[in-house]
Structure formats: structure tokens, C-alpha cells
Amino acid sequence: MDERPRIRDLRPFLKVLTLFLGTFLIGWIGSVIYLSQTYPDIEWDWDNIKTSDIHFPLNFAWGTATAAHQVEGNNTNNNWYVWERSVDDQGVSRIHNNDSSGIAADHWNRYLEDIILMKDLGVNHYRFSIEWSRIEPQKGFYDLEALSHYRKMCKALLNGGITPVVTLHHFTHPIWFENMGAFENEENIDHFIQFSELVFNELMNLVPIWCTFNEPSVFVAQGYFNGIFPPGKKDPVLAGTVLENMLNAHVRTYHKLKSIPGAEENQIGLVKNIFQFDPHRRWHLLDWAFSKILNDVYTNAPLEFLSTGNSSFYMPGMVDNEMSNPNAPGSLDFIGLNYYSRMHVRGRINPAEPFVFDTREQDIMTDMGYPLYAEGFYRALKTISKLGVPIYVTENGLADNTDNIRPLFIERYLYAMNQAIKEKIEILGYFYWSLMDNFEWAEGYSMKFGLYEVDPVTKDRKLRKGSQPFIDMVNKRGVDERGYVVGVGEMAPDFTMQYISGEKVKLSDLKGNVVVLQFTASWCSVCRLEMPHLEKDVWQAYKNRGLVLVGVDRDEPLDTVIKFQKEMGTTYPMALDPEANIFGLFADKNSGVTRNIVIDKDGKIVFLTRLFEEKEYQDMIKKIKSLL
């Protein structure tokens, strides 16, 4: 039988199919290229980054953080106490290893000891939460003794030079409030506001920084999507309602507290967790689609609500909840950012489980099952900065039972935050999570987040070796607004420099002379403008009267520096500064080069300049003259 007529009949269909597949493929590739370019996967070359070459502002707030239920002990009247004693449908405990918070770290009784531990770290702030169920154990009944306890703790912190930072709701609330439906019901918001007002009135003169809610999105995701936090529901529509009510509760609480006389100086904000959802396969549109849905629900919707007063809690086929509150814009004096990591999303053609979270072989994993991703911290800071208010990093840390990767985590994440600060993002402080090991909610006591480990029996604290990079940075001299890490009146750090002639000179050997260090570089136009004036007004005028002027060239090879001095026509000594190590003793290596350091005959810094500003320059000349 001749098949040719049948084949000819198929040709139009094959043409249409080919056109369809070609169009689909082009659209797929074009979409992936667009998404990849618009949302690049930021990963830095850590092998070529020196994470120690950073400084933070002088007035930076360094702190640690805890939450009441996780560390205080004996919180037996809140939603989590009930949850810890319940089981799931299979009769399995809600908490890993059948743990319960119990006495926790006994922080309620040991807070004075813990304040000493904070001082040993060098931190100057401490973020903690007020346990609502202690303050209002029964609806309308307030335990003033419990409130007095927190006041005593705040006073003890201040006496130790540590600023208290209060969170009003950190995942827990009284059993009676839970039984009323908690934040599932809008009318219940009044109870939270009344509690907040009571605590604020009692502590506002001691506590300058207040957080209304800790991580509303996490509270909703874990309690109303995943069912692993109380109340253990899996109801997307109810989840949208709870998130809306919590955000509105923040707005109302903010405006209520700010209306109290004397509250103008108190900073009030909300703590937002950002956990990026990125496509596991960057070539796969399903991965991109589900990543966008999750990022919108988890991060973008709450931020848009706070920024504009309008947003949508939307998941296709599950929930579409429009949120609106005209009072939301302007309800933040600051935003708290909690950041830990990201998750990679893999889409599936499976209605029962449309996506899963996957891992990558190259990632360094934490005990919590997510990777180290410091670049994500930088991304999150840029994302949240769009709110246009100052930022406190209210939580950042990792679970690391072996303590092997904690140093790497600290070094990389602090570097990432420093990069954001250099890009003019207003970050006021950083709180490491956590001060000590604690009850990590559904994970029980298996996750070790603490700078201090806590003995499970004796509750004794012991500093982890892996905490040292945090301590080093906290106690490292901060940088001033001009980039200096030294100040007038301090002794100049000693070092050895090599002149372009080959001669090596130690700064301390120059005592008895007035020394001027001029930091410079051939590529610096302001330096080139200043150098002839230094030659005439300083070197030629005072070189025979006990003055030594040295041009310290930043990180350039010998032949470049020789050529540079010849071009400038200067005669004062020039020294080499490979890797800017001398510069780094006086200023942040990431700051501008044009600056002069005037050191008196005893080795004390007496004058600092930045750029070539006429008045400051003339004041420097007067200071030099007065020293000779």
C-alpha cells in the first residue's frame, strides 16, 4: 500500500507542531535569559576576599538577641507550653526528640550572670522579649511583680553599659488569648495593644528601642501553612487573615504608643525575616514561577503593605487576600531584619506537591538544613532598605553543633553587611542570634545557635571558640565619619616603612621630631593638587627645624612611585605601602586616600586632615608651626 498520501496529509500538522514547539522554545529561552539577567544569582569569590579588612561606624550598635520562651524557663501559661505537650495525627510529639522548653537556660534567674557574659563579649545592646503570659496570665489581670522583674533587668543592663531592646511579641502569647482565636480574629487586637501599652508605660524611660512583632510571616507560615508551630493549622485563607491582622496590630500599636507623652524619642519598629527563595534550576521556568510566588507571599507582600498601605497575599488557586491600611505608611521608625539564608525551589508537575526545596552539592550546610549564603544577607539588606527607614539587623546567626563553621559564618556575614554599609544603606546595629543555646521551637534543643553553649543539666555557660570572630569585630575600633580608625590625642601605632631609596625606617625611631604622614597615590587627583603645597609650606619651610614629612604611597609598585614623585617635583621622602597595611593602621582600607596625620614629638596624634580643604589645611600648618 502506498503511504505517501497519508504522509502528505500529516505535513500541515507537522508544520503547526514545529512552529508551536519553536515558538515555545524561543519564549522559554527568552524568559529564562530575562529572569537570569534581572535577578542574578549573586555569589562572591571568597577565596579572593579578605573579610578582616573592614570597620564599622564608631556609634554602631553591637548586640545579641534572645526570646523569652526560649531562654527564661518555666513559661507554663502560653501557646507554646500547650503545643509542646501535644502530638500530631500519628501520635508523634510536636517537638524534635520529644523536648520541652522546661527550665530552658534559666535566664529568668540568671540574667545578672548573663549580663556579665554580654559585657565579656563587648556588646552594648541586648534584644529580648517580654513574655505576655507572665504579665497578663489571665485576661484583664496583670502581674505587676513580673513586670517589675523586667524593669529590674533593664536597670541592670543599663548599669552594665548595655542598652535594652524589647520585643513585645516573639511567637508566644497567653493561653487565654490563644483560646480566643488569637490573631485569627481582628477584635482580639485590642488585647495586644492594651498589653503593649502597659509594658511601654512601665519601661519607656529605660528602653529606647521597641519591636512590636517578631517575624509575622514566619509565625503565619509555620503556624498556618506548615502546621509545625501552634495552632498547627494548614489553611492558606486563614493564614492571609492572620498576617493581615498582625500587620494591622503593628500599625495600631505603633500609633498608640507614639501618642503617649514622652514617647517621641523612643524608636518603634517591626522585625521582618527575609529568606530568599531562588530557583534550583535557573533554566527551568517552573522553578522561577514558584520562587516568585513564595517571595511575594513571604517577603514582598508585607513590605509593600508597610510601604504603601496596600498589598495582596496571593497564592494561585489557594488564597487572594487584599490587605489595606492607610495608616501603615509611616508606622516604622526603623525596620528590624532577621536573616539566615535562602532555599532553592524545584518546581514539579504534581498538584499534590507542586514544589520541593532542594540543596546544592557546592553549598556549605548548617545544622538547620539551609546553606551559608552571606551574599543573601547583602541582598536582603538592599531589599529591606527600600522601605526608606533605618535598619537594625535584629537576628543573624547559625546552628553549628560542631562549632566548625561558626567562624566562617561570622566573618562572611559581617563582611556582607559591611558591603551594604559602604553602599550607603543605613544600618544602625547588628544583633547576633543567639547569646546562648536555647529552646529552638519545633527543633527543641538540638540546634546550637549560642555564642555561649549551655550545659543541659547544670545550665552553666561556656564561650564557644567559634564565637571569637564576632568578639574581635565588636571590640575592633570603629571608623569615624571621615574613615579614620584613630583619633586626635591617641598614640600613633608603630610600624616600619621602606622608602623608595630602600632605607627602612620605624615610626618610633622618629620620636623627637614632628612627623607628618601624607597618604597618597599616583591615581589620586586631590593628592596631586595637595603635594606641591606640602612641598613648599611644610617640607621646605620646616625640614631643618625638626620636622619629617613622608609621603606614604598606597599599594603601588616601586617604579610607579618613583615616576610619580618625579612628575610631582617633590623632594620629601616617599615610602611604599604594599596592600595598604600602613594606611589600614590609621583609616579603613576602603576609605579615601587623601589624608595627613600630624604626630608630635612624643608620638601622639595631634591633627588629622581629609581631602585638601583650604581652612583645614591652614589649620594644620598652624598646628605644625606651634609644635616646632
The phi-psi region of residue 130 (left if phi > 0; otherwise alpha if psi is between -120 and 50; otherwise beta) is beta
Q: Which of helix, strand or coil describes residue 166?
A: strand
pLDDT in tens, 26-76: 776 888 788 888 888 999 999 999 999 899 999 999 999 999 999 999 999
- At 22 the pLDDT is 67
pLDDT in tens, 199-257: 999 999 999 999 999 999 999 999 999 999 999 999 999 999 999 999 999 999 999 99
Provide mean pLDDT across the span 298-310.
Answer: 98
76 residue type, one letter: T
Q: Are 243 and 216 in contact (CB under 8 A)?
A: yes
Provide mean pLDDT across the span 410-439.
Answer: 97
Q: Give the pLDDT band (50/70/90) at residue 496.
A: very high
All structural domains of the chain, each given as residue ranges with its CATH number in brackets, are: 58-474 (3.20.20.80), 496-627 (3.40.30.10)
Q: Are 475 and 122 in contact (CB under 8 A)?
A: yes
Exactly one of 131, 202, 215, 530 is catalytic; name it.
Answer: 215
Q: Give the pLDDT band (50/70/90) at residue 392.
A: very high
DSSP, res 387: G
In this predicted structure, the answer to whether residue 8 has a pLDDT above a threshold of 60 is no
Q: Would residue 613 show up in a list of annotated catalytic residues for this protein?
A: no
Exactly one of 84, 375, 395, 530 is catalytic; name it.
Answer: 395
Rg of the chain in Å (alpha carbons): 30
Average pLDDT over the chain, rounded to an integer: 95
- Give the ranges where 357-511 is alpha helix by DSSP (H): 374-384, 406-422, 468-474
- At 19 the pLDDT is 64
In this predicted structure, the answer to whether residue 505 has a pLDDT above a threshold of 90 is yes
Angle between helices 525-534 and 558-568 (to 10 degrees): 60
C-alpha cell at 528: 596631586
pLDDT above 90 covers what percent of the chain? 90
- At 14 the pLDDT is 58
Provide mean pLDDT across the span 146-163.
Answer: 98
Residue 405: count other Cβ atoms within 10 Å of its Cβ: 17
pTM (two decimals): 0.92
Range of lowest pLDDT (106-115, 198-207, 586-595, 598-607): 586-595
In this predicted structure, the answer to whether residue 20 has a pLDDT above a threshold of 70 is no
Q: Would residue 202 show up in a list of annotated catalytic residues for this protein?
A: no
- At 16 the pLDDT is 65
How far is it, in rounded angstroms, from Cα 367 to Cα 370?
8
User: Residue by residue, what is the 3-state secondary structure of 431-458?
Assistant: EEECCECCCCHHHCCCCCCCCEEECCCC
Q: Give the pLDDT band (50/70/90) at residue 417.
A: very high
Range of lowest pLDDT (20-34, 312-326, 588-602): 20-34
